[in-house]
A and B are shown apart, each in its own frame.
Chain A
Amino acid sequence: MKLLTKSTFYFLLLSFIAMVAGGALLYLTIKKVIYKQIDNSLITEKTIIEDQIKQTDTIPDFEGAFGHQIEVKLLNYHVRNYQSIKDTDIYDSKTDSFIPYRFIFSSGNTYEKKGFVITIFQGISEKNELLQDISLYMFFLFFSLLLISILINYLIARRLWSPFYNSVRIAGRFDIQSDKPLDLPYTDIKEFRQLNMVFDNMTHKMRNDYLNLKEFNENAAHEIQTPLAVIRSKTDLLMQQKKLNKESISLIKSINEATTKLFKLNQGLLLISKIENQIFHEKKMISLKQITEYGLDNYKEIMQLKKIKVEIDAVDEAYVEMNETLAEVLISNLLSNAVRFNVDSGFINCRIDNMFLIFTNSGLPLTIDPEMLFKRFHKASDNPHSVGLGLSIVKKITDTYGMHIEYSCRNNIHEIKLQYRH
């Protein structure tokens, strides 16, 4: 849940509870006040009537005097003094409905010890309506207050948190390979300034580490080339010596193999670091069909020897804009795998349409986890000469151009699917 949503939600919940409680309290208070008023006026009327009865011993003419229904009865006997105020509903035949009334029932005695009973009814539907109106207004008032405060809260929070979201967005776009600074916007909130500083320091350090590491790799790879050339040349010379005994031959052979492997390794790593450094930035339109045909041609004799059947089904307009060398390395590495890991009398099928390049080939079951296939130094073969960089170079190239590559295998048919266009 977003911070803003969460804070708004809590605010809403709490204000709702507060408003319901406050509203109820207010409603009850107003109701009490109104009833008290009604009761007071009923008591006042009753007292006036009572006084008159006591003074005159007759029932005064009250018809319409207070606009209320008044019933007075004189009794010939003594009654208990009693008074109560209650609610009641009285049926009204005109409107065919019950109308709410507040009434006072009072009994007392005159000076001549004659009892009387006074009942005064006051219609309270008007008052109830008033109460309802007040409640309604109150509800609207509260509701709009709530809405306004939520809105204000939301706006303030959004404004307050915007430097945070900005920083997160910018930091999320951080690319260790680009030399542009993170450039986080200034904010007057101290905590966020601290956060930005942490971000800045962290990325700066990360980039420095990365550059150091990259530089080390490049230097190491370059500087290894010349000593490697010396070793290779000396081995070459050593090999040409006459009268070598069997032991020397075996030693030289091992040196030669190790040198070749080291050379391949170094070459692969150099290529990867060069791709990372965007040395191959020159682009042109490459015909995938042409480059695949060229690549297949390079392995023609090998495929004939292995009796591998090749099928190519490509559209002419399959073009991709990329560096020519990298395109060659990409296709050649994929084809080399398809040839190397193929079986005798197997097949290679190359399909190229406007979006995909799909190479399928027969082969032996894969001995490693397909997930690890594109990782460095994960070899599918137990061949001691293989260095395990081919597919990680392929992955590096496809990543550089934002292409998607995936591997799948079913019934020992291996498929590499390259989506070269979106």
Chain B
Amino acid sequence: MKLLIVEDDRSLSRSINDYLKIEGHICEVALTFYDAVNKATVNKYDCIILDIGLPDGNGLDLIREMKSNKLAGGILILSAKSSLEDKLTGLKIGADDYLTKPFHFAELSARINSICRRNNFLGLNEITFNEIRINTDDNQVFVNDKLLILTKKEYDLLLFFMANRNRIITKESIVEHLWGDNVILTDSFDFVYTHVKNLRKKIVASEGRNYIKCIYGFGYKFIES
């Protein structure tokens, strides 16, 4: 997928760029509002990752610009301010999602995947991975074409793994993804462990392979082979 990263902090934009490139996306970086408007109006991006606090302009104006020019593509707002108003305004004028700094790359990746899935409605409501098939419209999971009954958290966890295949996912990012970042549930790593264990057990019980590998000290990795 083709992505535009609008972020004035060089170090952060480079990291996002590096990470998303490994994921297989084609990325471009804009460090200023001016640069971002130029790139967004000339090229077509699947998704724009937008920091709204730019030194030479407000990122929200870029969203307005894009929407008035009927430019397609998803928009994910990144902001240091987790102010509710910015969030509501951003979503109201056409952004698809909102992520507060600091975020986990796993979360960013999951959000981008989800935006792209929603925007490209050409049969992409299905994620297929070897014997696992997920229908994101009905929230149903099939393993070897057999319906797999998962709890809501297990389902979210599987999608999260799918969006971050072959990458290490920290336990912290799983907690934030499953319970939201308003929840201060810091000693819930045991619960993450149990959820992962149950998910793995259910997939294996339906004769699926065990893809979830525990990485010592960090968390988990969903590996293809």
Residues of chain A having any CB pair with chain B under 8 Å: 222-223, 225-226, 228-234, 236-237, 239-240, 249-250, 252-253, 256-257, 259-261, 263-264, 267-268, 270-271, 274, 279-280, 298, 300-302, 305, 325, 328-329, 332-333, 336, 339-340, 381, 383, 385-387, 389-390
Q: Which residues of chain A come closer than 8 Å to B211, judged between CB atoms?
A: none
**How many Å lie between the Cα of A339 and that of B186 in the bound state?**
12
> Given A222-B80, A260-B172, A332-B183, are A230 and B11 neighbors across the interface (CB < 8 Å)?
yes
Residues of B within 8 A of A387 (CB): 184, 186
Which residues of B are in contact with A by a Cβ distance under 8 Å?
9, 11-12, 15-16, 18-19, 22, 80-85, 100-106, 151, 153-154, 167-168, 170, 172, 179-189, 191, 194-195, 216-218
| Complex Cα–Cα for A268 and B42 (A) | 41
Say which residue of B11, B168, B182, B189 sits within 8 Å of A329 (CB atoms).
B182
Known interface pairs A253-B218, A329-B182; A302-B191 also in contact (CB < 8 Å):
yes
CB contacts (< 8 Å) of A234 on chain B: these are 11, 15
Q: With the chains together, A264 CA to B180 CA distance in Å?
A: 12
- A249–B218 contact, CB under 8 A? yes
* Neighbouring A residues of B18 by C-beta, 8 Å: 237
Q: How far is the CB of B87 from chain A (nearest CB, A)?
A: 10
Which residues in B have their C-beta under 8 angstroms from that of A223?
A: 80
Q: Is the CB of B83 within 8 A of A383?
A: no
Q: Flag if B185 contacts A340 (CB, 8 Å).
A: yes
Contacting pair A264 B186 (CB below 8 A): yes
CA distance A190 to B51 in the complex (A): 58
A239 touches B168 (CB 8 A): yes
Question: How long is the Cα–Cα vector from A329 to B182 in the complex, in angstroms?
Answer: 7
> A229-B103, A267-B181, A340-B185 in contact; A222/B81 too (CB < 8 A)?
yes
Q: Which residues in A have their C-beta under 8 angstroms from that of B168?
A: 239-240
Contacts of B15 in A (CB 8 A): 230, 233-234, 236-237
Bound CA span A264–B181, Å: 9
Given A240-B22, A329-B182, A389-B184: A233 and B217 interface contact (C-beta under 8 Å): no
B193 (CB) vs chain A CBs: closest residue: A305
- CB–CB A301/B195 < 8 A: yes
A16 and B50 CA atoms in complex are apart in Å by 85
Known contacts A226-B80, A256-B170; A231/B102 CB under 8 A: yes
Apart from A236-B105, A250-B217, A385-B186, what 7 extra A-B contacts exist at CB < 8 Å? Answer: A233-B12, A236-B19, A236-B104, A256-B218, A340-B188, A383-B186, A389-B184
Given contacts A237-B18, A279-B85, contact A226 B185 (CB under 8 A): no
Nearest residue, chain B, Cβ from A393: B184
Identify the closest chain A residue to B99 (Cβ). Answer: A229
User: Would you call B182 and A279 a contact (CB within 8 A)?
Assistant: no
**Cross-chain contact A325 with B84 (CB below 8 angstroms):** yes
| Contact in complex: A259, B102 (CB < 8 Å) | yes
A332 contacts which chain B residues (CB < 8 A)? 182-183
- Can you list 23 A-B pairs, Cβ within 8 angstroms, ordered by A? A229-B12, A230-B102, A233-B19, A233-B102, A236-B106, A240-B19, A249-B217, A250-B217, A264-B184, A279-B85, A298-B179, A300-B151, A301-B154, A302-B188, A302-B191, A325-B182, A328-B182, A332-B182, A332-B183, A339-B185, A340-B187, A386-B187, A387-B186
Given known A229-B12, A237-B19, contact A333–B184 (CB-CB < 8 A) = yes
Task: Tell me which residues across on chain B come within 8 A of A340, comparing CB atoms.
Answer: 185, 187-188
- Minimum CB–CB distance for A1 against chain B, Å: 51
| Nearest residue, chain B, Cβ from A274 | B83
Q: Of B167, B182, B185, B191, which contacts A305 at CB under 8 A?
A: B191
Residue of A236, A305, A339 ringed by the most chain B CB atoms within 10 A: A236
Q: How far is the CA of A383 from the CA of B102 in the complex (A)?
A: 23
**What chain B residues lie within 8 Å of A301 (beta carbons)?**
151, 153-154, 191, 194-195
Q: Which residue of B lies closest to A231 (CB)?
A: B102
A340–B191 Cα distance when bound, in Å, is 11
Residue among B81, B168, B184 with the highest chain A CB neighbour number at 10 A: B184
Which residues of the partner chain B approach A257 to less than 8 Å between Cβ atoms?
172
Q: Quick check: B101 and A225 within 8 Å, CB to CB?
A: yes
- Contacting pair A226 B19 (CB below 8 A): no
Alpha-carbon distance A256/B103, docked complex (angstroms):
12
Taking CB atoms, residues of chain B closer than 8 Å to A385 are: 186-187, 189
Bound form: Cα–Cα A13–B154 in Å: 85
Q: Which of B22, B181, B195, B217 has the most CB of A within 10 A?
A: B217
B34: min CB distance to chain A, Å? 20
**Contacts A249-B216, A279-B83, A279-B85 given; does A229 touch B101 at CB 8 Å:** yes
On chain A, the residues within 8 Å of B194 by CB distance are 301, 305
Bound-complex Cα distance A239 to B19 (A): 11
Complex contacts, B187 vs chain A, CB 8 Å: 340, 381, 383, 385-386
Contact call A233/B80, Cβ cutoff below 8 A:
no
Which A residues are in CB contact (< 8 Å) with B170?
236, 239, 256
A40–chain B nearest beta-carbon distance, Å = 104
Which partner residue on chain B sits nearest A386 by CB separation?
A: B186
In the assembled complex, how far is the CB of residue B198 from the closest CB belonging to chain A, in whole angstroms?
8
